[in-house]
Amino acid sequence: MSTASLAFSTPAGKPRWQRWLLFSPLARIVIFVILMLAMTKGLVIVLHAFGLTMKGASPVVAGWLQFALRAVPALIAYLVLVYGIERRRPAELALRRVAPDGLAGIVGGTVLFSAVVGALWLLGSYHVTGFNAQAAWLPALLTAGLGAGIGEEIMFRGVLFRIVEEGLGTWAALVVSALFFGAVHISNPGATLWSSAAIAIEAGLLFGMLYHLTRSLPLCMGVHAAWNFAQGTIYGIPVSGMAVDGWLVSSRSGPDWLSGGVFGAEASVVALTLCTLCTVALFAFARRRGSIVAPSWRRRG
């Protein structure tokens, strides 16, 4: 089992208290959460000081504000964690990788969700009833697309998956990050235990494996953003239960297990099946490559 892909290990010779309170996986996760909450609170105060609030804002302005609140605190907190605590350059966020990896992710996410819609159409569940040329695409791109893609991938793959993998190994990191990723969607409109489980499996495991194999956050961000944007703005399907304004005016018929119900196609067995097949293929590739990381106590042994 490989450790070559791990970004950080505790520096040798550090005092015991530092190893536990600064460099341990749990400590760094807690530090990130505290930093992100503080950054979010500070950003809200700054925005209010300039009179920038959601109340009364136009859709585009509200979209920019949502983007700032979703992406900026997570990004700043991550950079502080990496540069300040881990004392390294964030290769997983290297500027040279942002454009090519992000573009590859956008193409991949669009193709993957288009395959989901194509399968639903072939099964007689997805129906296009009109075209809306005036769809508010920019607010959707800023919030459900880039805001969610950047912020959530930093939290769940850059922090949770990466750091848990350093301590408990790849398999545990996949399970932990996927469970948390599914759990944060349980409060969304129309959410059920099934929809959260589906997101944990189809997206949480898939994005975790993508990060494990590529060590690229821009790639994961691109897939995540494109999946959400294609789902809502292109195909007119609710994004994790949230109402959308899509270019295609669509409806879905059939039982909820097929159509996804009010939550959207993410709760469909079609999305679950296609994404799981992709994840299994990535699992197989990782095993062949020998990149699976063992828990820290086995590595020390």
pLDDT of residue 56: 86
Question: How far is 95 from 190, CA to CA, in rounded Å?
Answer: 38
In the three-class reduction of DSSP (H, G, I as helix; E, B as strand; rest coil), residue 299 is classed as: helix
Compute CA 141 distance to the chain's CA centroid, rounded to the nearest angstrom. Answer: 15
Statement: residue 235 has pLDDT above 90: yes
pLDDT of residue 299: 81
User: Identity (one letter) of the amino acid at 59?
Assistant: P
User: Identity (one letter) of the amino acid at 95?
Assistant: L
Lowest mean pLDDT among 4-8, 101-105, 160-164: 4-8
User: Identity (one letter) of the amino acid at 13?
Assistant: G
Nearest to 110, CA basis, from 231, 262, 260: 231
Statement: residue 104 has pLDDT above 70: yes
pLDDT of residue 1: 46
Question: How far is 67 from 144, CA to CA, in rounded Å?
Answer: 9
> Would the pTM of this model clear 0.85, i.e. be above it?
yes
Question: How far is 143 from 146, CA to CA, in rounded Å?
Answer: 6
Alpha-carbon distances, residue 116 vs 122, 201, 290 (angstroms): 10, 15, 31
Nearest to 107, CA basis, from 2, 225, 231, 251: 225
Quick: pLDDT tens for 13-52.
Answer: 889 889 899 999 999 999 999 999 999 999 999 999 999 9
- Count of CB atoms situated within 10 Å of the CB of 15: 9
Q: Which tokens is 147 given?
A: 């805001």
- Count of CB atoms situated within 10 Å of the CB of 141: 19
Statement: residue 7 has pLDDT above 50: yes
Segment 260-275 shows an average pLDDT of 97
Contact between residue 165 and residue 6 where contact means Cβ atoms under 8 Å apart: yes
Nearest to 199, CA basis, from 211, 104, 226, 191: 191
Strand partners, 128: 250
Half-sphere exposure of 266 (CA within 13 A, CB side): 35
pLDDT band at 229 (very low <50, low <70, confident <90, very high): very high
**Sign of torsion over alpha carbons 277, 280, 286, 290:** negative
User: Identity (one letter) of the amino acid at 223?
Assistant: V
| 245 burial via Cβ count (<10 Å: 0-12, 13-18, 19+) | middle
Question: How far is 48 from 45, CA to CA, in rounded Å?
Answer: 5
- Break the chain into its structural domains and give their ranges: 95-300
Quick: pLDDT tens for 109-161.
Answer: 999 999 999 999 999 999 999 999 999 999 999 999 999 999 999 999 999 99
Average pLDDT, the chain: 95
pLDDT of residue 2: 58
Segment 242-254 shows an average pLDDT of 96
- Count of CB atoms situated within 10 Å of the CB of 291: 17
pLDDT band at 4 (very low <50, low <70, confident <90, very high): low
Strand partners, 242: 239
The phi, psi pair for 251, rounded to 5°, reads -140, 160
